[in-house]
Chains A and B, each alone.
Chain A
């Protein structure tokens, strides 16, 4: 189910047809994906779904103007009409001198087969629907739930297994040819349990991998059930300043807004609390965050961004100093800065303090709040202020004492990260942001 020669020829036709009919420059991205999904409800197959998508995106430059267009109708006559209308539309917009393609030397040249990063599972094509059914049913704990019920009852179990293949090709009018192909295998469960008083608690667990052999599916449902049961008997603690330990599963909630604030559009629009920080020491000396986009076989790796620009390993934060804004060609030109890449690709936070995992870190922090999930909340992109609902546990003497609920964590990101105390070394490889469990001091918690 990869791109066929015929489909690639369609992309090349679109590029050439646009250039022949009034476009000065053009970039074409052709994408194709197939996903098979099996849903489980209480130990039985509840749904199956098959999703086949093909689409073509066209970035058009004409008369100093720019527009983006897409269609999933790939017949040649239909595309001719679509492209002519697209060019006509672009010419109705206002001129923008900053719109152009990336300079050729920045473009990826090493993504030719699409599988250079070894993200395509060679066994994918052998998977049959009967195997999906059996595999999915095998991950359910519904028929053996009594074995884990201890002071609670599992009242609902919902799971999904999916496998998919994604193949995309980006070409442009200056010779770019960049292809990316990957398979993905995912499993996720949400389990609801009931305590002896009839109170319900739910939680989830999931895993994903580009390669089936690396998918940790067997204990997914059980982990979800145990996470749900761990919330039984919640208490509130007093409002105040606490050390908090944020589990690797949900730690991205605290880093993603910082990365977004380093994004070009937020900076150019003066709508970023990281504006003016490039080259400055904003964070503590111990903080190192790198973009590592070219690791073979690793979730999230890519050789090029959406413009076809080659990615590279580079520091984002180095010893607390901001080293990179994420600037595409357009935004960089508007800001009179050198372009980098559109966005962070595969973010890696370097562990601090020598702690192995979350439990080790809790032991080290002694008295703290261990956050295992966020429930709503938001942050202000201009100021960096945030307020999040949290769920987790009260920890005393390094041991979990009781679950907590209806608690809030409030602060601002720069202060928070400056209060980073330590981290574990337990980032989840199924995520494209490899962030370990984090410990912060002096955090405002409301109850």
Chain B
């Protein structure tokens, strides 16, 4: 097998053709078959993913494994209609059957649409970028070479707090070889690594039990498993546990909410980002579907979806339609300037794709999906935002967000935070919900601090399919949201 590495871990074209046992002439025949019934576009997505996992529980690494997922998906577009079929074999006969099945979406010739050509619409994408170089490829090491890291992490956590009764730490890693071809004769390839470490700790104090989890996930190689990473995870997973035991459920009602920098970005992802995905807008189901070019939040606010942050979980050299990864401004100076597009929605709106066509695996057709979504820093100081609130809530850890795209209503579970009373953080709070409406919350932003943080956790977005994403936000004050409480 030919293997020529360049730019980190991206190999030569021939490496990918060999992995999937195809040549360009075969790819041409398949896309021609795909559009033979009148389809206007056909693309082929090959994937070979190797996964590894290790689990340390009850003091020992007694569980682990490897998994292989290999296959090809063929998509045919006819106007905005999609035909899709996949095979776990890349024999010509099986791929031809897929092409024929996908081709059935077109029952008559349709107008040929351009579906984008890979050119960026905004930002500075570099088609030759390698945003996830691996210095130590995961597959180059034996499985037992990862055990010391897990043991060290467990020991570092255990020494942090005497109330710990259980520790679970896990390592998951994967490397995906991707090859893409389409009826515009664009051939793209990529190798995407991902490493994730997570820790879950159970604490007991005076008969009460609490748990806390944290994770780190990056598109990188095994070099991420450093002492400093273990220190960071150990510190974070015990941080705030005193507050967790003391935390109360406050009285509910409408009140100002200050969202802490970093992980609160999940609220931006759920409550606003999804509504900016162009498929929801193309179908008229998003609350933002008729708001392009309009003010959606106060001036000075920029909201971005970005594939270009090196090593970030949401970063991509190419999206899953072969469009270069890029940085997309959705909101500039408070004005809605771009949806997040795949090739279908880009053709519908007559714009270039923003490189947001993503899929969980070869088993799925791509959809517009977020990558790393964040709000740029403002000019306020976080302390000033908190001190400006007489009575409200400060939240530093959200989970389980959900949004209703049509109405824009969102709900988030607050895992930890504090009451704000007379400008000061007072009683810790937990296990409550915050509910609001996306457009209203955007319009109600009263202050953005200068402390943008991209959260390094293992975030996964579950819109029909699961894809890895990142999120971030600076400290933000929203004038009023509904906070769930005990009365």
Contacts and interface: CB of A to CB of B under 8 A. Distances in A.
Interface of A: 39, 41-42, 44-55, 65-73, 82, 85-86, 89-90, 92-96, 99, 129, 155-156, 158, 190, 192, 199-202, 228, 231, 239-241, 269-271, 275, 334, 375-383, 385-389, 405-410, 444, 446-447
Contacts of B200: 271
B13 interface: no
Nearest to A39: B82
6 contacts: A89-B64, A92-B142, A93-B61, A270-B165, A382-B209, A387-B432
A50 B411 contact: no
B137 interface: no
A376 B285 contact: no
Contacts of B178: none
DSSP class of B's interface residues: helix, strand, loop or mixed? strand
Contacts of B283: 41-42, 156, 158
Given A269-B166, A376-B402, A389-B411, A446 B64 contact: no
B433 A94 contact: no
B227 interface: no
Interface in B390-410: 399-407, 409-410
Given A47-B83, A89-B143, A192-B285, A383 B405 contact: no
A52 B87 contact: yes
A200 B407 contact: yes
B138 interface: no
B5 interface: no
B63 A408 contact: no
Given A82-B68, A92-B144, A192 B104 contact: no
Contacts of B412: 376
Contacts of B253: 239, 446
A202 B249 CA distance: 31
A382 B483 contact: no
B39 to A, nearest CB: 12
B363 A51 contact: yes
Given A47-B365, A269-B57, 5 more contacts: A48-B83, A48-B105, A67-B65, A68-B65, A156-B285
Given A94-B60, A241-B487, A269-B202, A387 B431 contact: yes
A410 B433 contact: yes
A158 B61 CA distance: 46
B436 A53 contact: no
Contacts of A69: 65-67
**Among all A-B residue pairs, the 7 with the closest Cβ atoms:** A376-B411, A446-B252, A389-B411, A408-B484, A376-B402, A378-B413, A202-B406
A46 B98 CA distance: 18
B218 interface: no
Contacts of A65: 62
A270 B98 CA distance: 48
DSSP class of A's interface residues: helix, strand, loop or mixed? strand
A387 B433 contact: yes
A272 B65 CA distance: 27
Nearest to B486: A444
Nearest to A90: B64
Nearest to A97: B62
B80 interface: yes
B69 interface: yes
B169 interface: no
Contacts of B365: 47, 49
Nearest to B78: A45
Given A270-B202, A376-B402, A389 B433 contact: yes
Contacts of A383: 208-210, 431
B243 interface: no
B70 interface: yes
A170 B86 CA distance: 25
Interface string B42-82: 00000000000010011011111111111100000000111
Contacts of B166: 269-271
B211 interface: yes
B136 interface: no
B81 A50 contact: no
Nearest to A447: B482
A158 to B, nearest CB: 7
